[in-house]
Structure 1
Amino acid sequence: MEGLVSLKTTPPGISFHASPPSTTTTTSTSARRFSLVRRSLLASSMGTRRRNGVSETKDESATVSPANGDVETALKAKEWEVGMFHNEVAATQGIRIRRRPPTGPPQHYVGPFEFRIQSEGNTPRNILEEIIWHKDVEVAQLKERRPLFRLKNALDSAPPTKDFVGALRAAYQQTGLPGLIAEVKKASPSRGILREDFDPVEIAQAYEKGGAACLSVLTDEKYFKGSFENLEAIRNAGVKCPLLCKEFIVDAWQIYYARTKGADAILLIAAVLPDLDIKYMIKICKMLGLATLVEVHNEREMDRVLGIEGVELIGINNRSLETFEVDISNTKKLLEGERGQKIREKDIIVVGESGLFTPDDIAYVQEAGVKAVLVGESIVKQSDPGKGIAGLFGKDISS
Structure 2
Amino acid sequence: MLAELLAGSLQDAHQRREVISTAAVERAALKREPTLDVAAIFAPRERVHIIAEVKRASPSRGELAAIQDPADLAAAYERGGASAVSVLTEQRRFRGSLDDLDAVRARVRVPVLRKEFIGEEYQLLEARAHGADLALLIAAALDQKTFERLAEFTRQLGMTPLLEAHSKDEVLRCLDAGEGFVGVNARDLTTFTLHPERFGELQSLIPRGTIRVAESAVATPADVRNYRDSGADAVLIGEALVTKHDPTATLESFLNA
Give the alignment's TM-score, normalised by structure 1.
0.62
Q: CA deviation at 1:329?
A: 0.4
Q: Which of 305, 326, 334 is the aligned partner of 2:202? A: 334
Q: CA deviation at 1:319?
A: 0.5
* Secondary structure in structure 1 of the residue aligned to 2:140: coil
Contact kept? 1:314, 1:350, Cα under 8 Å: yes
1:146-184 per-residue CA deviation (whole Å, 9 max, x = no partner) reads: 221122431233222112232122xx41xx122110001
Which residue is 2:239 aligned to? 377
* Secondary structure in structure 1 of the residue aligned to 2:114: strand
How many correspondences in the alignment?
257
Aligned-partner Cα distance in 2 for 1:235–1:267: 16
Aligned-partner Cα distance in 1 for 2:151–2:168: 21
Which residue is 1:322 aligned to? 190
**Aligned-residue CA RMSD in angstroms?**
1.5
Which residue is 2:55 aligned to? 185
Contact kept? 1:164, 1:243, Cα under 8 Å: no
Contact kept? 1:247, 1:267, Cα under 8 Å: yes
Aligned-partner Cα distance in 1 for 2:79–2:136: 24
**Judging changes above 3 Å, is the alpha-carbon distance between structure 1 residues 358 and 143 closer, same or farther for their aligned structure 2 residues?**
same
1:246-292 per-residue CA deviation (whole Å, 9 max, x = no partner) reads: 01101111000111111111000000112211221122122211010
**Matches for 1:220-299 after TM superposition, within 5 Å:** 220-237=90-107, 239-299=108-168
**Judging changes above 3 Å, is the alpha-carbon distance between structure 1 residues 197 and 266 closer, same or farther for their aligned structure 2 residues?**
closer
Aligned-partner Cα distance in 1 for 2:153–2:40: 19
1:118-162 per-residue CA deviation (whole Å, 9 max, x = no partner) reads: xxxxxxxxx222212212322222223222112243123322211
Which residue is 1:107 aligned to? none
Contact kept? 2:215, 2:235, Cα under 8 Å: yes
Aligned-partner Cα distance in 1 for 2:165–2:187: 10
Q: Does 1:148 align with 2:22?
A: yes
1:325-372 per-residue CA deviation (whole Å, 9 max, x = no partner) reads: 112101111124xx25xx12xx21110000012222112222222111
Q: Which of 157, 161, 177 is the aligned partner of 2:35? A: 161
Aligned-partner Cα distance in 1 for 2:55–2:21: 28
Aligned-partner Cα distance in 2 for 1:139–1:286: 20
Aligned-partner Cα distance in 1 for 2:68–2:55: 9
Q: Does 1:351 align with 2:213?
A: yes
Aligned-partner Cα distance in 1 for 2:125–2:26: 9
* Secondary structure in structure 1 of the residue aligned to 2:195: coil
Percent of residue pairs identical: 35
Which residue is 2:6 aligned to? 132
**AA at the equivalent of 1:207:** Y
Contact kept? 1:168, 1:180, Cα under 8 Å: no
Contact kept? 1:265, 1:290, Cα under 8 Å: yes
Q: Which runs of 4+ in 1 moved over 6 A?
A: none
1:180-235 per-residue CA deviation (whole Å, 9 max, x = no partner) reads: 10001111111111113532011000000000001100101111011000111111
Contact kept? 2:203, 2:212, Cα under 8 Å: no
* Secondary structure in structure 2 of the residue aligned to 1:335: helix
Look at both structures and tell me which one has the larger radius of gyration over its CA atoms. 1
**AA at the equivalent of 2:239:** E
Contact kept? 1:357, 1:392, Cα under 8 Å: no
**AA at the equivalent of 1:236:** A
Which residue is 1:205 aligned to? 75
Aligned-partner Cα distance in 1 for 2:192–2:144: 24
Aligned-partner Cα distance in 1 for 2:91–2:40: 29
Q: Which of 196, 199, 214 is the aligned partner of 2:84? A: 214
Contact kept? 2:56, 2:67, Cα under 8 Å: no
